[in-house]
Amino acid sequence: MAIPTSQRHDPDGLRGPDEPPAGTGKRVFSRRRLLAGGALASFSLPALHELVPHEGLHGGDGDALAAGGHRGHATATGGHEHAAFAGGAGVDHAANGFDPSAMLRDFDWGKTRRLPGGRVLREWEIHARDREIEVAPGVHYAAWTYNGRVPGPTLRCREGERLRIRFVNASTHPHTMHFHGVHSSFMDGVPGIGEGTGGGEIEPGGSFDYEFDAEPFGMHLYHCHVAPLAAHIAKGLYGAFIIDPARGRPEADELVMVMNAFDTNFDFSNEVYAVNTVGFHYQHHPIAVHRDELVRIYLANLVEYDPINSFHLHGNFFHHYPTGTSLEPAELTDIVVQGQAQRCILELRFPKPGRYMFHAHKTEFAELGWTGFFEVG
């Protein structure tokens, strides 16, 4: 016998098992509600002021920590009637301290000096800090950051240099910097290894100098490696790490794209997906590139809680260099699929002017923010 819609426990079929009972007047800022709202199709969704964080996940430190997470908070109080999930235009980049449009071409080369014998020593100083960031209009997330931004600075160097990264933990939790590359286990940024040398887990207020050679050339990354690892990555502690070949690469318009996502209600799945943190940013602020100019994209996937991510480009194909460790492309394609920490370099030219979409071909992610445009002029 059919149950009248009005009497069903979950009449719209959208409420998950962890959501509050019907009739409480509360709505949850959940992944399925966002999708059901047709964020991509309409560019506006159930107004965020109607969506409240799941209180059950904010009940106390004990629950969240026992579940492997960390206490934090997300607010989804839109503030004005038509606050929309889509539309990077509404995010306060100045308050965030970073703008995804500028982040694309922001490479941190550090400071260099010559060592005895002439070799280059390249140095950076990175501070871990707790910081609230806005990942979609009105959606604030209590992030953990390297140098105040998510992703952290794109560290760039040249093959064969000596690198020294001074890490200062100015946050409230222990963290590390774990680099992908070739180095001593004492410089690996993993708890329990290197404690005798001051490495391993770096407590709040502590610091450590990671030092190693720049090898091999390619598109790499760094991230915190403190347990629970999923939480430390999900909170925003990661960044791109590029080692240029000794002889460099051909001149190009170079872009860094770190695919990431945010679990804003702490239910171990993500509600906002993006490239460089802000959902839908490049949809509302297309990436301007020049016709026929070589474009080089340094792409990495740092999404937590989902097994794969992908990058797909419309109206064009690109050369794919997995991990960027070869100067010969592996394939000519229009899509790459990456697990977490996979990365690559993509090279292409746009022969025709126009506006070309790029997005995750895990299309659910696209509808939750991971979509944008190239504007070819």
Question: What is the contact surface with Cu ion in residues (CB under 5 A)?
Answer: 175, 224, 226, 232, 237
Contact criterion met (CB below 8 Å) for 263 and 305? yes
Contact criterion met (CB below 8 Å) for 224 and 233? yes
What are the strands of the beta sheet with 154-158, ordered from one edge? 107-108, 154-158, 238-244, 218-223, 178-179
3-state secondary structure of 49: helix
Contact criterion met (CB below 8 Å) for 181 and 240? no
CB of 305 to Cu ion, least distance (A): 16
CA angle 313, 316, 322 (to 5 degrees): 65
| CA distance linking residue 143 with residue 209, whole number of Å | 24
Nearer residue to Cu ion within complex by CB, 47 or 226: 226
Please enumerate in sequence order all residues whose Cβ is within 8 A of that of 117, keeping only pairs 6 or more positions apart, or say none. Answer: none
Q: What are φ and ψ of residue 185, in 5° steps?
A: -60, -25
Nearer residue to Cu ion within complex by CB, 237 or 243: 237
Q: What are φ and ψ of residue 63, in 5° steps?
A: -60, -50
Beta bridge mates, 132? 142
CB of 173 to Cu ion, least distance (A): 6
Nearer residue to Cu ion within complex by CB, 232 or 362: 232
Nearer residue to Cu ion within complex by CB, 104 or 202: 202
Nearer residue to Cu ion within complex by CB, 193 or 224: 224
CB of 155 to Cu ion, least distance (A): 17
Q: Classify the phi-psi angles of 310: left when phi > 0, otherwise alpha if psi is within -120 to 50, otherwise beta.
A: beta
Contact criterion met (CB below 8 Å) for 27 and 46? yes
Q: Which single residue brings its beta carbon nearest to Cu ion?
A: 224
Please enumerate in sequence order all residues whose Cβ is within 8 A of that of 201, keeping only pairs 6 or more positions apart, or say none. Answer: 174, 175, 176, 191, 192, 195, 226
Nearer residue to Cu ion within complex by CB, 139 or 237: 237
- Residue recorded with tokens 């939480």: 231
| CA distance linking residue 167 with residue 153, whole number of Å | 13
Nearer residue to Cu ion within complex by CB, 144 or 298: 144
Nearer residue to Cu ion within complex by CB, 226 or 313: 226
Nearer residue to Cu ion within complex by CB, 158 or 235: 235
| CA distance linking residue 137 with residue 369, whole number of Å | 11
Buried b (16+ CB within 10 A) or exposed e, 138-157: bbbbbbbbbbbbbbbbbbbb
CB of 176 to Cu ion, least distance (A): 7
Nearer residue to Cu ion within complex by CB, 237 or 366: 237
Tokens of 312: 């797909």
